[in-house]
Structure 1
Amino acid sequence: MDGPDLSDRTVLVTGSAKGVGRELLLATADCGAKTAVHYHTSADAAREVADEATARGASEAMTIQGDVTDPESVDGLFGAIESELGAVDVLVNNVGDFAPDHWTDLEFETWNRVLETNLNATYLCSKRALPAMREAEYGRIVNVGYASSEKGLVSPTNFPYFVAKAGVLMFTRMLANDTQDDEITVNAISPYVVENSDEFPEKLPRDRPASFEDLIQPLYFFLDPESGYVSGENLEVDGGWLPESV
């Protein structure tokens, strides 16, 4: 699919060594972006993604390690990207763990990790990216949410994940409001079940999970220069799913 021209843009997708993050990063490589492949522990996988990004048309590609739940680590990884590729123009906040157990069975450390990787990481990376975006009078922030956030899903399992993703959506809208005079847009893409999920519900909308391509098209829309008036939006990629329908 054809995407916007990103040949003069630096793109950071958090958690882009594997899964959804990998596919979103490579989609920007297809558009000629300068790509920063972020990883926490998957160094070999990140190098493979960087090589593929270059092969697919990225003007430059690098790998960058960092813990996006730690402020000092976030500052360091952004600094490294700025030194090699220039300031981050496009930030995709993709990192986010989940915990499928019943919430009463979770240790606090697990609860906290899910909130930190989903919500705190989104906050820290966005905050670090904003000064350069404001100075450049251009920026695109896309947060990966979850389709339950606006559908009233209540479940005792995946509890901290749902709480965190609801926070990501609220953060998206508040940051969009705060940047409305800066030529920066902040939006969210919220899938239900994606093709790389570990488990699938017995019933799926349209009898299939969302494909990576289903997520790339909304990303391209949000990154398109002609979408500069679209901010604070949450685009659900869920095939028409409603909690009571599955």
Structure 2
Amino acid sequence: MIDTDLSGRVVLVTGSARGVGRELLLAAAERGASVAVHYNTSDEAAREVAEAATERGAHDVTTVGADVTDPDAVDDLFEAVEDDLGTVDVLVNNVGNFAPVHWEEMDTDQWHGIFATNVHSTYLCSRRALPAMREGEYGRIVNIGYASSEKGLISPKNAPYFMAKAAVLMFTRMLAGDTQDDGITVNAVSPYVVENSAEFPDELPRGRPAAFEDLIQAVMFFLDDDSDYVSGENIEVDGGWLPEDV
């Protein structure tokens, strides 16, 4: 297990009221960070996560609701976190809707929603976090991608999601290069099927979905101080999934 020490760090995980985001935030809490639980509409779930984070050893905890596809709401989100905990040292861009609908059957709002939640939220939150990170000469940004999306693998059923996640990975590499002299690293973790997924293929690599802990270990590698020369990279947590399996 990677024993990353996050004591003294302020960690914001978008979409951390449930699912992968919840588990990543609690893992940061266990490592001594001050954590910001972000939610959009799940305020009750966010309060439960905040209580769990305190029990697991978080230095301090706050909960903030915001639509991270809205620039003004993102500004308000960061201002609230800064007021309660201090400037954000670690940002995990986890928000991203998924709609298993053939692209021709998807309405325009669904299409734009996929890109807004996956790409625009990552851009807006990263842009807002960077000034303070640059000033402090320290920052860690981890974006959640999707396995094999950077390889041109596009299923007609999931086309906009794959395309959006490919954009997230391209943004990750660009931002890593743009911050290489600022004490900031920007990386991505890309799962295939995770244990909380709504649908499971008939066959899975290694006979199981990715456990939350599999993703936690990949993210913690990027957050560890000993990984400060690793930037612009993507770890696929997919058990060896092959593109032709789609």
TM-score, normalised via structure 1 length: 0.98
Paired position in structure 2 for 1:71? 71
> Partners of 1:149 and 1:102 in 2: how far apart?
17
Total equivalences in the alignment = 246
Corresponding residue for 2:224?
Answer: 224
Gaps of 5+ in 1: none
CA 1:106/1:240 → structure 2, altered by over 3 Å: closer, same or farther?
same
Give a deviation string over 1:188-235, Cα, whole Å, max 9, x none.
Answer: 000000000000001100010000000010111000001000000000
CA-CA distance at 1:3 after TM superposition: 2.7
Once the two structures are TM-superposed, the CA of residue 2 in structure 1 deviates from its matched residue by 4.8
Q: Which residue of 2 aligns with 1:235?
A: 235
| Equivalent AA in structure 2 for residue 69 of structure 1 | T
Contact 2:5–2:31, Cα closer than 8 Å, also in 1: yes
User: Which residue identity lines up with residue 223 of structure 2 in the other structure?
Assistant: L
| 5+ residue gaps, structure 2 | none
Q: How does 1:159-170 map to 2 (within 5 A)?
A: 159-170=159-170
Q: Matched residues in 2 for 1:182 and 1:149: separation?
A: 28
Pairwise CA distance, 1:150: 2.9
2:93 maps to a residue whose letter is: N
Shift of 1:243: 1.7
Question: Which residue is 1:100 aligned to?
Answer: 100
- What is the DSSP-based 3-state SS (H/G/I as helix, E as strand, rest coil) of the residue aligned with 1:134? helix
Find the counterpart in structure 1 of residue 171 from structure 2: 171
Structure 1: distance between partners of 2:16 and 2:184 = 22
C-alpha distance after superposition, 1:43-90 (max 9, x if no partner): 000000000000000000110000000000000010000011000000
Please give the alpha-carbon distance, in whole angstroms, between the structure 1 residues aligned to 2:145 and 2:6: 23
Contact 1:151 1:242 in 2 (8 A): no
Q: Is the 8 A contact 2:2 2:221 kept in 1?
A: no
CA RMSD of aligned residues (A): 0.9
Looking at structure 1, the residues matched to 97 and 223 of structure 2 have their Cα atoms a distance apart, in angstroms, of 25
After the TM superposition, which residues 89-238 of structure 1 pair with which residues of structure 2 at under 5 Å, given as runs? Answer: 89-238=89-238
Distance 2:236 2:151 in 1: 10
SS where residue 147 of structure 1 aligns?
coil
Q: In the alignment, is the contact (CA less than 8 A) between 2:99 and 2:158 conserved in 1?
A: yes
Where does residue 51 of structure 1 map in the other structure? 51
Q: Which secondary structure does the structure 2 equivalent of 1:75 belong to?
A: helix
Contact 2:97 2:117 in 1 (8 A): yes
* Secondary structure of 1:241 counterpart: coil
Worse-superposed segment, 1-10 or 184-193: 1-10
**Offset at residue 154 of structure 1 (A):** 2.3
SS at match of 1:174: helix
Q: Distance in 2 between matches of 1:47 and 1:2?
A: 28
SS of 1:54 mapped into structure 2: helix
The residue that corresponds to 1:15 in the other structure is 15
Supply the AA of the counterpart residue of 1:165: K
Q: Partners in 1 of 2:48 and 2:183 — Cα distance?
A: 34
Percent identity of paired positions between Structure 1 and Structure 2 = 70
Answer whether contact 2:153 2:243 (CA < 8 A) is retained: yes
For residue 189 of structure 1, give the secondary structure of its aligned residue in structure 2: strand
Alpha-carbon offset, residue 245 of structure 1? 3.6
Letter in 2 for 1:231: S
